[in-house]
Structure 1
Amino acid sequence: MMVPVHIWAYAFRIWLAAIVALYVAFWLQLGGASSAAVTVAILAQPTRGAALAKAVYRFAATFIGAAMSIVIAGLFPGERVGLLAAFILWVCVCVFVASYFRGFRAYAAVLSGYTVGIITVVNIDTPQKVFTAMTDRVAAITIGILCVTLINDLFGSPPVWLGLERRIAQAWHDVRDYARDVLGGAKDDAERAGMLFAAIAGLRDEVDIVAYDMADGRHRAGGARSAMLALVEIVQQARLLSLFDRGDPLAVTVRDQCLAALDGNRSEALAILVRMHDDELSRSDATIAAIAQIQRALRCVESMIQIEDGLLSVREGSGPARNVRLPRRREFFFALQNAIRVGIAVSVGALFLVFAGWPASALALMITANVCALCTTMRDPSKVVVAAMASFTLAAVSAYIVHFYFLTGSQDFIRLAIGIAPMMMLGCVLSVNPKIAGIGAPMNNIFLFLLAPSNPQSFNALSFFSQCMFVAFALGVVFLAFRLVWPVSELDKQRAVVRATKETLAASVTGKKYSLPALSIALASRIADYVVAATDKHRSHPEMLRGLLATSDLSLVSAAAYDHLEQSSDDPAFRSKLGPLQRALRSGNSRRLYAGARSVLRRMQEGKAGLHEAQLAALADLWSAGLLLDRERRRIRHFDGRGFIKGEGGR
């Protein structure tokens, strides 16, 4: 298989940055100069924005961890038990916080934790060296960050937005095909909708880092967030439009305009739908069903326009038409589970090392804490550890050959640069292949850690094999911890999605206030988590997935209805009708929802209340909720933790 030229260019940039970082660290005579090269390996990313984003978070996290190191060392001078307990507690806190984030933010959180181990725990017997170790580490990391940034800029590292634009365009193509099929009368495919949500949610990591790409990166990031939301909205609106009667001539016209918009005639379709909306409101016999259909189609077409605007912002760096904030994960149970698991693993490792009486056991404990904390940021820690074991085997053999065969001839820096080149380039080439990235990504880190380049170079075989043994011990502890200590299965993740969906439904139908864009993204991300968690053993059940989608749709339209009702609650005439409508929604009574919506519309048509857009939007959402309850009552009932859906027909 031929490796593309741009991959070789990426590998060359990382190798060159590592060499420059080592040279500067040697010239400054820093203790632990190899940390500069390890930093380069950690920041190895094929795009400029990704490397810069990770560098920013690494720099900030290092300062936080360094400050905490001084605090812990000052609180427990010479007290081994107290210092170790404080270190383990701090790592647990950082892992807990990291569980609420993703990507480089999660990495920064755990880095803040294990930096204390690198600075303080390793010097547990020599507390007077803590400050020197802190300054050396901060200086080495700073050098590594600067070298990566300068080399990437000098050799033209590609930006993130190019790949992100392609992925958004591909997702838009898939969503367009799905919406065209659903609106064209095809049976809704729940698995296809779930896979679309998974593809859209998969854009999140690149969207988070594109802001660091260029000076106009924040505009590109804003456009990408807007496009993500628009993609989710189109899938949701297409599903809701499919609930309306297909034999109705108005429904046919509305769907035709949406299909025309999908084919590119968005401005014309929007103008026709607006005219249809105005004409319907001007009729004396206007129906809420017709208004709801047209409003739903208008939202769908407006979302298509937002996608084009978002893609333009990503492509040109211009400001998007809307600014959207993406929600963060809020899974307290899994965060606590991760923290407890890491606390147990590091504590057991510490006890074993104390009773084993190994020399330099503090280093082994630090490595164990590092690997434990880092694995919690991965989706499947057990598989990551297995991949890391393969990386360790390759890295250890390579480091041994370079260390004791290639470098023993002289202390020449050129010889060192040539010696580390093959392994570093191999690691970079492997890391860009998604199938084996778990092996390639940590390979360079482990290789440079075991090689430990220094000036002058040490050739202590006992020290080398001790470090290999410590890394193997850490990987073994982490493997057992994630297999045996409160393991999280894929089925547990699916159950967590179901539990969260139930909670959202209960909150939305009782009037909890939500940000509608954030709720749309959160619901789609939840469906994506359920689909991604499906394995050969615990595949996503089709009926369960349909129920999740229907319940998410009901949660969204209920929250939207309350949001629009709140905007129109200043009208006394309208407010008098809110109570029955809200009770009908809370009880899941579709017949009362229809009746209440018709009553409000008649009152508005009689002139006793003006025609307000917020009121019409609320009625359209309530009508959609009624349709969902009629069509999907059997499935939604399984997610009703409060028992608000009584029976068929909503009696």
Structure 2
Amino acid sequence: MTLPSTRDWLFSLKTFTASMLALYIALRLELPRPYWAMATVYIVSNPFVGATRSKALYRALGTMLGASAAVLFVPPFVESPYLFSFVVALWTGTLLYLAISDRTARSYVFMLAGYTLPLIALPAVTNPAGVFDLAITRTEEILLGIVCASVVGGAVFPSRLAPSLVERTDAWFRDAAFYVKETLSGRIAGQPISAARQRLAATVNQLEFLLSQLAYDHARPDILVRAHALRGRMQLLLPIVSALADPLIALLGGARARPAGLATLLADVVGWFDAPLADNDAAEREADRLRERIATLEPAAAELATWEGALLSNALWRLKQVVDVWQDCRALRILIAREKGAWRPRFRHWRLGGSARYFDRGMLIFSAGSAVGAIFVASSLWISSGWNDGAAAVSLAAVACCFFAALDEPAPQVFAFFVWTCVSVVLAGLYLFVILPNVHDFAMLVVMFSVPFLIVGTLIPRPQFNLATMLVAVNTASFISIQSAYEANFLTFLNSNLAGPAGLLFAFIWTRMTRPFGAELAAARLMRSSWQDVVLSTATPPDGDQRNLAARMLDRLMQLIPRLAATDDHRHPSIESFRDLRVAFNALDLTRARRRTGDDVSASIDTVLDGVRDHYNRCVARRERQPVPASLQTAIDAALARVSTANGGGDEPLAEGQPAPAASLPARPLRDALHALVGIRLSLFPQTSGVTGPAQEAAA
């Protein structure tokens, strides 16, 4: 482990200062639980101002909403404990569903509102008349912590989020350059490539949440627009490069003669990808030269009637797209870093502009339902036991179930929550009974807190330590229960503070019982859903629906790739998932092209689309990938021949290496249809399309 950096120490010092300020003000105001103000600072603080502000705002809104619900629900239901437990569980589950259905920072509002209700309402059942005062003081304590964290974080050496965005994208650029260079060399399988593919998808997924916080960083509107455009281009690069791989492998592998000039062009593209990101003017000029060279290699209309000509045209078309997307990514990254300049997009496609996202609603409902069941069962056990302090057990069980509901395998994280909460109990006991009896004023209290909290604070910014260190800081502050006068009873301390670990242990057992499955089930559901969308892509929805369908499929693929990490090295399921996406995108291109072609061509395209639809319907019905029927390959070859001879000439299928007579392709729709048909053939029949070779046999 590397030692904390200067930035880590600065963040820790700022957070500790804000927490002590909040604690001091809460003690002076004689708030009933001043330690909640201190704990809130550690909950909302982030090394970046924008992230702290967004979390602070959403925590305030969520707390007020949950507190209002407590005031609303406690008086009418407190006399019916089991009904009251069900109301609390249902509220928490409903808000949890809304939270995990939103992948932006705004989800924190619903998350907080969900578990704030049990935190306030359950301790109030013994004194329902005081629930309003409890809700008010809880809100005041949390708002005080939020204000202190925001003021100190924004006034003392504030760290902006935009530079961090550039740092993260630079890591993505390095992985993307490696991935593209390997693909252009004909390698699409292997552990390094698989790992790069997973990191690329993970970075794109993380940026979605990060960009939702950028607006709170005082970023200009044009920077926000460019940041979202950059993420969109980053998301597109993976499937476009994947689509380029198949025709390149078919052209460069095997015994067939390689097209003249293609290998040199690919080598120059590889060199261009290695160009420094800062030297954008030279890169722009080189990109223009590469596009000109791509155009000069484009086969003539007569050559497109051969399989080799169609392959070359498809490869060059995809290569130009890769160049365009990479140039856009470079330009956007530089504009964001410099915060000035104009951008003219190079990559333009009808699929751009979709805003749909994919959510597995079934799994989301199940996750929220599991939390509802945990809260109700825990509440029932508490009621039947008669344990006065059992409300804390139910509250922390609710918090744990909410925190990790979006994970495929939440049980390990819930258990970590339990372990670090136990550590906090021990640390709080050490402070309460050994250290605090010797503290006589607030200055000495600050000194006693400084060493452990400053050390813990340096680890909070690190993702691998964030959960553990935040829990230690927050729970230790809460379990000590600092008041204006020292008061400690060992039995009372044990009775109240062991309730939390007991609730977390119950949450772990419950989660292990109700959610024993992991990423494999989630991946299988995502795969089946992608097959269903391939079926939809063979229809002819309006243009806006097509864009949203494409955006949803791409978003789902970014979710699927990290989940396939465990099996990707030996079974290559992500490669198959990319092929499914390419089939869908090419089917969408076909549905658009067929509107502008003749009746004969449209009929042959419809036959292909019907075959694709039937194949994927079989996969959905049998819940596993099925062999592609040979009749579909025949239909694709017939459609290729029909497209290539659309202006007259024979009706023989276009077979690999066999020319079709009287070929000419002057019309753009026919060329688009040709590229889409070649893409579908390469995706569904890689073995018979020349895609497999010595380096690709495992991947096929």
> Shorter-chain-normalised TM-score: which range?
0.7 to 0.9
Equivalent of 2:676, from 618, 621, 637? Answer: 621
Q: Secondary structure at the match of 1:124?
A: helix
- C-alpha contact 1:277 1:295 (8 A) present in aligned 2: no
**Within the alignment, does 1:201 sit opposite 2:201 as a pair?**
yes
Cα pair 2:51 2:217 within 8 Å, conserved = no
User: Aligned partners of 2:225 and 2:175: how far apart in 1?
Assistant: 22
2:218 matched to which residue of 1?
Answer: 215
The answer as to 2:508 corresponding to 1:479 is yes
Shift, 1:221, TM fit: 4.6
Deviation at 1:514, TM superposition (A): 4.0
Deviation at 1:75, TM superposition (A): 4.6
Say which of 476, 485, 488 aligns to 1:456.
485
Which runs of structure 2 are paired with 1:399-478 in the superposition (5 Å)? 399-409=428-438, 412-478=441-507
TM-superposed deviation, 1:112 = 1.4
Asked if the contact 1:10/1:46 (under 8 Å) is kept, the reply is yes
Q: How far apart are the structure 2 equivalents of 1:320 and 1:62?
A: 42
Unpaired segments ≥5 residues, structure 1? 637-651
CA contact (8 A) 2:82 2:380 kept: no
How far the C-alpha of 1:429 sits from its partner, in A, is 2.5
* Whole-Å separation in 2 of the counterparts to 1:354 and 1:632: 64
Query: What's the offset of the Cα at 1:329?
Result: 4.3
Structure 1 residue 146: Cα displacement:
1.5
Shift of 1:509: 3.5
Q: CA deviation at 1:40?
A: 0.6
1:64-75 map, 5 Å: 64-73=65-74, 75=76
Which residue is 1:9 aligned to? 10
Q: How far is the alpha carbon of 1:575 from its aligned partner?
A: 6.7
| 1:307 corresponds to | 329
After superposing the two structures, state which structure 1 stretch, 212-221 or 495-504, moved more: 212-221
Deviation at 1:115, TM superposition (A): 1.0
* Letter paired with 1:311: R
Matched, 1:531 2:532: no
**Paired AA for residue 228 in structure 1:** R
CA distance in 1, matches of 2:24, 2:354: 42
Q: How far is the alpha carbon of 1:583 from its aligned partner?
A: 2.5
- Does 2:639 correspond to 1:596? yes
1:449 maps to amino acid? S
Question: How far is the alpha carbon of 1:65 from its aligned partner?
Answer: 1.8
Task: Say if 2:404 is the partner of 1:369.
Answer: no
Q: Can you list the C-alpha shifts for 1:583-632, whole angstroms capped at 9, x where unaligned?
A: 313314344335435544654799xx996656644442232112222316
Distance 1:411 1:575 in 2: 92
* Structure 1 Cα separation of the partners of residues 41 and 606 of structure 2: 58
Inter-CA distance 311–440: structure 2 relative to 1 (3 Å threshold): same
AA in 2 matched with 1:580: S
Number of the residue aligned with 1:544: 573
Matched, 1:239 2:263: no
Matching residue's letter, 2:611 = S
1:578 corresponds, among 583, 586, 602, to 602
Query: What's the offset of the Cα at 1:206?
Result: 4.3
Question: Does structure 2 retain, via aligned residues, the 8 Å contact 1:219–1:313?
Answer: no
Query: Does 2:523 correspond to 1:494?
Result: yes
CA shift in 2, pair 1:269/1:374, >3 Å: closer
Q: Which residue of structure 1 aligns with residue 538 of structure 2?
A: 509
Q: Provide Cα deviations, 1:208-233, integer angstroms capped at 9, x if missing partner.
A: 23414522265445434433333343
Q: Secondary structure at the match of 1:631?
A: coil
8 Å Cα contact 1:191-1:542 kept in structure 2: no
Tell me the TM-score normalised to structure 1 length: 0.85
User: In the superposition, relative to structure 1, how do residues 396 and 214 fare at CA in structure 2: closer, same or farther (>3 Å)?
Assistant: same
Letter in 1 for 2:201: A
Structure 2 counterpart of 1:631:
686
Name the structure 2 match of 1:34: 35
State the partner residue of 1:139.
Answer: 140
Q: Check conservation: 2:422, 2:501, Cα contact below 8 A.
A: no
Q: Among 422, 425, 429, which residue is 1:396 paired with?
A: 425
Residues 13, 152 of structure 1: 8 Å contact kept: yes
Residue 378 of structure 1: how far off its partner (Å):
4.5
What residue identity is the alignment partner of 1:347?
A: F
Structure 1 counterpart of 2:259: 248
Distance 1:276 1:424, change over 3 A: closer
Q: Report the AA paired with residue 260 of structure 2.
A: P
Which residue does 1:177 correspond to in 2? Answer: 178
Corresponding residue for residue 649 of structure 1:
none
Residue 254 of structure 1: how far off its partner (Å): 5.7
Distance 1:37 1:481 in 2: 31
Letter in 2 for 1:530: R
Offset at residue 473 of structure 1 (A):
0.7
For 2:360 and 2:688, how far apart are their aligned partners in 1?
A: 28
- Contact 1:43/1:54 (CA < 8 Å) preserved in 2? yes
Q: Is the 8 A contact 1:14 1:44 kept in 2?
A: yes
Cα distance 1:401–1:488, how it changes in 2: closer, same or farther (>3 A)?
same
TM-fit CA distance, 1:135: 2.2
CA distance in 2, matches of 1:107, 1:214: 17
Q: Structure 1 57/472 Cα, relative in aligned 2: closer, same or farther at 3 Å?
A: same
Contact in 2 for aligned 1:197/1:232 (Cα 8 Å): no
What does the per-residue CA deviation read over 1:475-497, in whole Å, with 9 as the maximum and x for residues that have no partner? 11111012122322233233233
Question: Residues 148, 283 of structure 1: CA spacing in aligned structure 2 closer, same or farther, 3 A cutoff?
Answer: same
1:382 aligns with 2:393: no
- Give the superposed CA RMSD: 3.4
Match of 1:641 in 2: none
Shift of 1:346: 1.7
Matched residue, 2:120: 119
1:598, 1:351 → 2: CA distance? 70
Match of 1:273 among 266, 291, 294: 291
**Count of equivalent residues:** 623
Provide closer, same or farther for how the CA distance between residues 604 and 429 of structure 1 changes in structure 2, counting only shifts above 3 A: farther
Query: What amino acid maps onto 2:477 in structure 1?
Result: L
CA contact (8 A) 1:165 1:314 kept: yes
Tell me, yes or no, if the aligned pair for 1:18 and 1:36 is still in contact at 8 Å.
yes
Query: Is the aligned partner of 1:356 residue 2:385?
Result: yes
Structure 1, residues 512-549: CA drift from partner, whole Å, max 9, x if none? 634376246424413423234x2xxx776424343233
Describe the SS at the equivalent of 2:14. helix
Amino acid at match of 2:686: R
Verify the 8 A CA contact 1:345 1:481 in the aligned structure 2: yes
Gaps of 5+ in 2: 253-257, 276-282, 346-351, 613-631, 650-663, 692-700
Identity %: 16
Q: Secondary structure at the match of 1:31?
A: coil
Flag the 1:575–1:226 CA change in 2: closer, same or farther, 3 A. farther
Assess if the C-alpha contact under 8 Å between 1:222 and 1:320 holds in 2. Answer: no
Q: Distance between the aligned counterparts of 2:192 and 2:220, measured in 1?
A: 32
